[in-house]
């Protein structure tokens, strides 16, 4: 058995690899195998006869052909080059060019734990057995009246700066001007908390607006409760709740999968309940959210290219960046191998101007 394949990016990521990561949407994995890359490690994802997903290193151990270009037969994947077959655990079970099939036991392709949940295919990227369950994402599953859809978007930037962008309010008045917010020079008190493996931000601004359609989405001018959350290693959730009884609600859950250091694939789940407006919102919202997220794609490319050019994060921060500082502290702690004390739980009251 050869040594497990890794990559420079994987090795440099410390404990950030010890988590479940999304390889693709469930609906994208059908009969044919699919290639997915996480931490610069190519994987082949495929389904067995029970439709259960399996993940292997996308490299035949014979002559290194990509198994993702092969075919799935019952519970085996066949290499497109010489027809070697491997089972769901990566064990070679057939070599067409050999009469003595007993030698198959000497050959194996690297196996990765794989699960299906929330309409996504997840792969455990840790070095050993999974040490945790897949993150429990509380996004109103099964609750009456809630609609949802996924968006998959590629960004040219790293996970840390992306999750900060998804939770960052000050940038919205510039990057999304006219689409999300406009600059009004309003003071917004906020509470930022670092709790265990998460960061929670509460915005104390009941009359906040979200986009050009605020009058339509919130005609009664109900108080808007806005909270942002980050969960290690790569999940963000933005909640807009209209009224204390959740009369209407809009939730954005983003899961960032590191393809390579500066290439991240983001799976964004949009969940909403606008009561009788849902049929109309269903037609409008996908177009609107796509427009907004493509603006983030452009500014993240801008930042990502400069980070690669200068090869260092020489950041300067103010109180408005408390969220960023807390997120970075948790991800840096894991990336650096947990060699220091874990960042302590902390709460800070501050303000931003938008």
Reported as type and span, the H/E element at residue 285 is helix 278-310
Residue intervals of the chain classified under CATH 2.102.10.10 are 8-124
State the pLDDT at residue 221: 75
State the pLDDT at residue 170: 93
- d(CA 342, CA 329) in angstroms, rounded, equals 9
CATH 3.50.50.60 fits 8-124, yes or no: no
For residues 234 and 207, the answer to whether their CB atoms sit within 8 Å is no
Helical ranges in 63-180 per DSSP H: 159-167, 172-175
Under CATH, domain 147-353 is a member of which superfamily? Answer: Naphthalene 1,2-dioxygenase Alpha Subunit; Chain A, domain 1 (3.90.380.10)
Establish whether the linkage from the previous residue to 65 is cis, with ω within 30° of 0. Answer: no
State the pLDDT at residue 184: 77
State the pLDDT at residue 246: 73
- d(CA 87, CA 69) in angstroms, rounded, equals 16
pLDDT in tens, the chain (354 residues): 568 999 999 999 999 999 999 999 999 999 999 999 999 999 999 999 999 999 999 999 999 999 999 999 989 999 999 999 999 999 999 999 999 999 999 999 999 999 999 999 999 999 989 989 998 876 676 688 899 999 999 999 999 999 999 999 999 999 998 777 677 788 999 999 999 999 999 999 866 666 655 666 666 777 788 999 999 999 999 999 888 767 889 999 999 999 999 999 999 999 999 888 899 889 989 999 999 999 999 999 999 999 999 998 999 999 999 999 999 999 999 999 999 999 999 999 999 988
State the pLDDT at residue 354: 86
State the pLDDT at residue 136: 83
For residues 238 and 172, the answer to whether their CB atoms sit within 8 Å is no
List all residues 6 or more positions away from 318 whose beta carbon is below 8 Å from its beta carbon.
none
The values of phi and psi at residue 210, to 5°, are -125, 85
Residue intervals of the chain classified under CATH 3.90.380.10 are 147-353
For residues 164 and 313, the answer to whether their CB atoms sit within 8 Å is no
């Amino acid at each position: 058995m050869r040594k497990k394949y890794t990559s420079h990016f994987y090795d440099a990521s410390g404990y950030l690899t010890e988590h479940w990561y999304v390889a693709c949407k469930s609906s994208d994995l059908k009969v044919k195998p699919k290639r997915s890359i996480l931490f610069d490690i190519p994987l082949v994802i495929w389904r067995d006869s029970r439709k259960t997903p399996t993940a292997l290193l996308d490299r035949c151990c014979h002559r290194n052909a990509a198994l993702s270009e092969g075919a799935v037969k019952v519970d085996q994947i066949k290499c497109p080059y010489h027809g070697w077959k491997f089972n769901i655990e990566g064990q070679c079970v057939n070599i067409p060019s050999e009469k003595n099939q007993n030698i198959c036991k000497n050959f194996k392709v690297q196996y990765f734990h794989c699960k299906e949940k929330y309409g996504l295919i997840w792969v455990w990227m840790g070095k050993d057995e999974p040490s945790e369950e897949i993150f429990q994402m509380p996004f109103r599953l099964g609750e009456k009246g809630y609609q949802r859809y996924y968006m998959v978007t590629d960004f040219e930037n790293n996970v840390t700066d992306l999750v900060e962008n998804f939770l960052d309010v000050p940038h919205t008045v510039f990057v999304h001007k006219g689409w999300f917010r406009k600059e009004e020079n309003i003071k917004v008190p906020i509470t930022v908390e670092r709790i265990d493996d998460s960061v929670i931000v509460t915005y104390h601004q009941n009359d906040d607006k979200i986009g050009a359609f605020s009058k339509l989405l919130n005609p009664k001018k109900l108080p808007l409760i806005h909270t942002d959350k980050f969960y290690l290693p790569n999940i963000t959730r933005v909640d807009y709740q209209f009224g204390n009884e959740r009369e209407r609600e809009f939730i954005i859950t983003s899961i960032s999968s590191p393809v390579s250091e500066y290439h991240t694939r983001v799976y964004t789940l949009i969940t909403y309940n606008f009561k009788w407006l849902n049929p109309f919102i269903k037609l409008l919202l996908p177009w609107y959210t796509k427009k907004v997220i493509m603006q983030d794609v452009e500014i993240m490319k801008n930042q990502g290219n400069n980070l690669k050019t200068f090869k260092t994060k020489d950041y300067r921060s103010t109180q408005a960046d408390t969220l960023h500082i807390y997120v970075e502290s948790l991800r840096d702690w894991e990336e650096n191998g947990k060699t220091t004390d874990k960042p302590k739980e902390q709460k800070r009251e501050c303000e931003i101007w938008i």
